[in-house]
Amino acid sequence: MNKKLKGKKVLVYGLGGSGQAACKLLHIFGACVSVYDEDKKFRNLFCYVDEPLFHKYDLVVVSPGVKVLGNSLISGLRAKKTNIISEIDLGSIFSLGTLIAVTGTNGKTTTCALLGKIFDEAGKKNFVCGNIGLPISSIALKTDKKSFVICETSNFQLELSRLFAPKIACVLNIQPDHLDRHETFDEYKRVKAKLFQNFSSLKHAVINLDDEGAKEMAPQKKCSFYSFNPLKKGVCVKNGCIYSGKVRIISLDEIPLIGAKNISNVMAAISIALLCKIKVKYIRNAIMSFSPPAHRLEYVDEINGVIYIDDSKSTNVACVKMAVESLNSKNLILMLGGQNKGLDFTQFFSLAPVLKKVICFGEAGQEIDEIAKQYGYDSQSFATLRDATYFAKSVAQSGDTVLLSPGCTSFDEFSSYAVRGQIFSELVRSES
C-alpha cells in the first residue's frame, strides 16, 4: 500500500482530529494530499481546495464527522467512480498486530477502556483508539506484530468503510440512534453491520446474546456469546459471579461499576480478553481496579440524603432505559433533555418505568415533557440545565436519587456531553 500511495493524488474530506491524522499518515507515505472541509476556517491551508469535484483524485479519505446521506460532494465523487474509503480503513491498513473492533449503540467507550486496562495488566502492548478520541491513523505506525489495537468503532466511521477487517469484532447492542444522520433505523443497522463486511473464517465475532439487534448481526460461524443467562459455552452470570464455561472469573460484588449495563460491558471485555489468551488473574485484577470513563452513571455526591448521578453520556433513548433499569430506584428523579436526534421518547415512557418525577430541559425539553405527561408522569420543563438542576435540588428529598440521563445530545447548550456533565456536577455541589 505504501508504494501505491507514493505520488498519488489524495483528498482528505473533513479536518477534525481523524482527518488531520489521515493527512499526516498519507504524507509519510509520499501522497500528494489535498484537503476539504465545509468549515471555511481551513481555507487558508496551502493544500485546501474550494471545488473538489473540479479535480481528479486517486483516493478520497473521508472523516467520520462528514454526513453521507444527502451529501452532494460524496454523490459527485461516486458518480466519477472515485475510490472512497473511511479514515478507519486507512489507519487499519497500516496497523500491525491484532485488530479488535467494538461497536454498539451504548457501552463502547467503557468496554474499550476496560480492555486497555486488561491488556496493560497482562503486560501486552496495546492502543485504545477510534471513536474514543485517538484516531487509528495516529497510532498505526507505532504498532508491531505483537500489538493489540482496540478500536472503538462508531457508525460514523463505518458509513463509508470498505477495507476495515478486524480480527475480533464485538457488537454490544443495537438500538435506535443517530436518526438525524441516518434517517431510518434500518439504515443505521445497515451501517453497523458493515463491521462484518470483510469477515472470514480467520476472524471471530463476540455477540451480546441478550440484545436482539446484536444477535441479528451475528455471523453464521466463529461466534462467542455472552449473556446474563446461563450458557454452556461463553461468558455468563451464574450464582452472583461471571463465568466462562465452568471457570469463575469474578464476583459481581467485586466489580466497581454501577448497574447491569456495565456488567454487560464487563462480560464483553472478558470475552474478548479470553479470545486473546489473557490469563484470568490479569482480567480479574484489571476489572477490580478499573475506573470507568467520566459521565457514565458516575456518582457525583450525596447531599442531605439525596444521591446525584451523572450519566451525561446518555444521548439516546436506549441508554436512558438502561440507566434507569441499572439504578433500580423506587425514588428516582430523572432529568431528560438537550438536542434531540430524531428519537421518539414514547418508546421509553410506554414501558412504564418507575419514576418519582421527570424534569425536562433544553431544546427538546417541552417535547419530552408533553410525552411524559401523556403517560401520566409528574413532569416539568425548564429552558436550561441550570434551572432544571436547581429545581431538582429543591424538590428532592432524603432517599431520592437524581439521575441526569438526558437521552439527547448537548449541542443546544454545551460543546459536548462532557461539559454538560461537568456543569451538572458543579451545579449539584453549589449552594444556590
| DSSP result, 159-183 | TT-SS---SEEEE-------HHHHS
Task: Give Cβ neighbours of residue 427 (< 8 Å, ≥ 6 apart).
Answer: 385, 386, 389, 390, 393
Of 288, 321, 354, at which residue does a domain stop? 288
Please report, rounded to a whole number, the percentage of residues in the chain having pLDDT higher than 90.
91
Domain presence at residue 274: yes
Angle between helices 280-288 and 108-121 in degrees, nearest 10: 120
Domain presence at residue 343: yes
* Residue 432: pLDDT over 90: no
pLDDT at 305 (0 to 100):
97
* Residue 179: pLDDT over 90: no
pLDDT tens digits, residue range 78-110? 999 999 999 999 999 999 999 999 999 999 999
pLDDT at 365 (0 to 100):
98
Q: With contact defined as beta carbons under 8 Å apart, do 70 and 159 qualify?
A: no
Task: Give Cβ neighbours of residue 45 (< 8 Å, ≥ 6 apart).
Answer: 35
Tell me the mean pLDDT in the region 291-302.
92
Q: With contact defined as beta carbons under 8 Å apart, do 187 and 174 qualify?
A: no
Domain that holds residue 419: 298-429
Domain identity same for 60 and 108: no
* Residue 32: pLDDT over 90: yes
pLDDT at 92 (0 to 100):
97
* Residue 1: pLDDT over 70: no
Domain identity same for 158 and 235: yes
- Rounded CA separation 298/310 (Å): 5
Tell me the mean pLDDT in the region 31-44.
93
Query: What is the distance, to the nearest Å, from the Cα of residue 177 to the centroid of all Cα atoms in its chain?
Result: 11
Domain identity same for 346 and 262: no
Structural domain tally of the chain?
3
* Residue 221: pLDDT over 80: yes
pLDDT tens digits, residue range 228-263? 999 999 999 999 999 999 999 999 999 999 889 999
H-run or E-run covering 425: helix 417-429
pLDDT at 293 (0 to 100):
87
DSSP percent split of the chain into helix, strand, coil, nearest 5: 35, 20, 40
**Which segments of 37-180 are extended strands (E)?**
59-62, 84-86, 98-103, 126-130, 148-152, 168-171
Q: With contact defined as beta carbons under 8 Å apart, do 414 and 423 qualify?
A: yes
Domain presence at residue 325: yes
Nearest to 129 by CA among 146, 121, 147, 145: 147
Tell me the mean pLDDT in the region 46-57.
95
Domain identity same for 177 and 44: no
Q: Return the CATH number at 393.
A: 3.90.190.20
Task: Give Cβ neighbours of residue 316 (< 8 Å, ≥ 6 apart).
Answer: 105, 106, 175, 176, 177, 178, 341, 343, 407
pLDDT tens digits, residue range 124-173? 999 999 999 899 999 999 999 999 999 999 999 999 999 999 999 999 99
Domain identity same for 47 and 129: no
pLDDT at 220 (0 to 100):
85
Tell me the mean pLDDT in the region 359-374.
98
Domain identity same for 423 and 385: yes
Q: What is the mean pLDDT of the chain?
A: 95
Beta bridge partner(s), residue 176? none
Of 260, 288, 316, at which residue does a domain stop? 288
- Strands 401-404 and 332-337 come out as parallel
Domain identity same for 107 and 60: no
pLDDT higher at 276 or 220? 276
pLDDT at 158 (0 to 100):
97
Domain identity same for 143 and 275: yes
H-run or E-run covering 278: none
- Please name the residue that has the C-alpha cell 438500538: 175
pLDDT at 258 (0 to 100):
87
Q: Return the CATH number at 55.
A: 3.40.50.720
Tell me the mean pLDDT in the region 294-306.
95
Q: How confident is the model at residue 2 (pLDDT cuts 50, 70, 90)?
A: low
Per DSSP, 250 falls in state E
* Residue 64: pLDDT over 90: yes
Beta bridge partner(s), residue 102? 152, 170
pLDDT at 4 (0 to 100):
86
* Residue 3: pLDDT over 60: no
Q: Return the CATH number at 259.
A: 3.40.1190.10
Q: With contact defined as beta carbons under 8 Å apart, do 171 and 195 qualify?
A: yes
Q: With contact defined as beta carbons under 8 Å apart, do 154 and 161 qualify?
A: no
Domain identity same for 93 and 78: no
Q: State the number of CA atoms in the 13 A half-sphere of 188 facing the CB.
A: 22
Per DSSP, 316 falls in state S
pLDDT at 181 (0 to 100):
83
